[in-house]
Amino acid sequence: MKMTDRLYYDDAYLTQFDARVEACEASGSAWRVRLDRSAFYPTSGGQPFDTGTLGGARVVDVVVEDGEVWHTTDAPLAVGAVVRGAVDWARRFDHMQQHAGDHMIAGAIHRLFGGVTIGLHVGDEVSTIDVSMPGGATHLPAGDVRRIELDVNEHIQRDVPIRCWFPAPDELRALPLRKPPTVAEHVRVVAIGDDEMVACGGTHPSSAGQLGLVKIVSATPARGKLRVAFLAGGRALADYFRCFDAAHEAAERFSTGVGQLAASVEAMQDRLRRVEAELGRMRREFLPAQVEKLLAGAEPLPDGARLVAALVDADAPLLRELASKLIERPGIVALLGARDGGRTNFAFGRSADVRADMGALMRRAAAPLGGKGGGRSDFAQGSGDAAVLEAARELVRGGHA
C-alpha cells in the first residue's frame, strides 16, 4: 500500500492542498479519512495534531498508523473524490514555535550542563521537556535557568536558520546529532544554527527569529527527572502582556514603581503580620469573656450535659483555643465554627466527663455535606459548609454523638 505523502515535510507553511480520498470509515459519530497526500500533521513526537477542514468537513483529530495518516472528521467524504484541505494556520504556527523552542532549550541544556532531553509535551497553555541531568539532578538554580534563556534568545535575535531534511545514510552517520535517532530508516534531521542538530519529524519555522521570544516558566522535579516548562512565540508574548499589566496595576495600587514592587509587598506583609499579631493578642484578652458568654447561652441536654453550638469570629488557632477553654469546664459539648473565606472551619470538643465521640460526630456531620474532618474522641477539627454545624447540633440533640 502506498504511504500517505506527508506534504508538511517539504513545506511546513503549506496550509491549503488538494488530495484524493482513498478511504472513509465510520467511527462512532465521526469518520476516519485517509488521503493520498496530506498537509495535516498527526500527533507524534510530543507535538499535537493539526486541525482544519477537508472538503467542508471539520478535522478534529489526526493520527498516523503504519505510515498512513488518518484524519477524523465530523462528516463523511466520498471515496475517490478530490477534496480541498485547509490547515488551521494559527494552531500550526503555534506548535511550530513551541517545537522549535523545545529544540533550542534542549540544545542549550545539553551544551551548557550535559542534560539529555527524553520527552516533549506541547500542552494547550504550557509546553514541557523532561531532562535527564548529570548525577540525577532534578533542580536548576535560577542563575542557570537564566543562562539557558539568554542563550536561546540570543539565537532568536540572530535569527539563525532552521533546516529540516532527510540526509542520505552516509551523511547521517557523519552528522553531529545531539542524541541518536529513535528510528533506523527515513530519519529526518532538524538543525538550528550551528550548534543544535537532532532527528525530528515535527514542523518548525524556517528561522529562529520567527519564535520572537522564549521564556522558561519553571524548572522542577518530575518522576526523578528535571521538567522544564516554557512558553515560545505568541504564548510568551501573551504571558508578557499579562505580567506587564498585573505588575503595573499592583505598582499603581502601592503608589510605587515596578522596580520597587517587591520591596513594597514585603513591607506590606510585615505590617500585616504585626497587625495580625496585635489582633490575636486582643482576641485572646477577650477570650475569658467570650467563653462566659458562650456558656451563658448553653443548651441543656437530656443526659445533664450542656451544648454550646455557635459561629464565632476567630481564626483557626483561636477557634481551637476557644473550644479547648470551653471543655475545661465539666459537662460541656462544644461545637464551634468560624468562617474563613468561602468555607467554615470547625472545632468540636467535649469535657472529660461527657460520653461522646467528637471524631465520629465530625465525620457524620461533615461528609453528607461535602465537608471533611476528624480527630480524637474528645476533640476534632474539620471544614466545609456552615450547615455542618447545624447537622452536628441535631445529632447531639438526638443522642447520636
Residue 11 CA, distance from chain mean position: 33
Q: What is the structure's pLDDT at 1?
A: 52
pLDDT of residue 254: 92
> Would you state the pLDDT for residue 37?
97
Q: List pLDDT tens digits, range 227-249.
A: 999 999 999 999 999 999 999 99
Residue 50 CA to residue 32 CA, distance in Å, equals 15
Q: Which of 141, 159, 151, 142 is nearest to 112 (CA)?
A: 151
Ramachandran quadrant class, 271 (left: phi over 0; alpha: psi -120 to 50; beta: rest) = alpha
Residue 378 DSSP symbol: S
Rounded distance, CA 216 to CA 15, Å?
Answer: 30
Residues contacting 274, CB < 8 A, separation 6+: none
Under 8 Å between Cβ of 307 and 298 = yes
Each residue's pLDDT tens digit, 25-38: 999 999 999 999 99
Residues of the chain below pLDDT 70: 1-2
pTM: 0.75
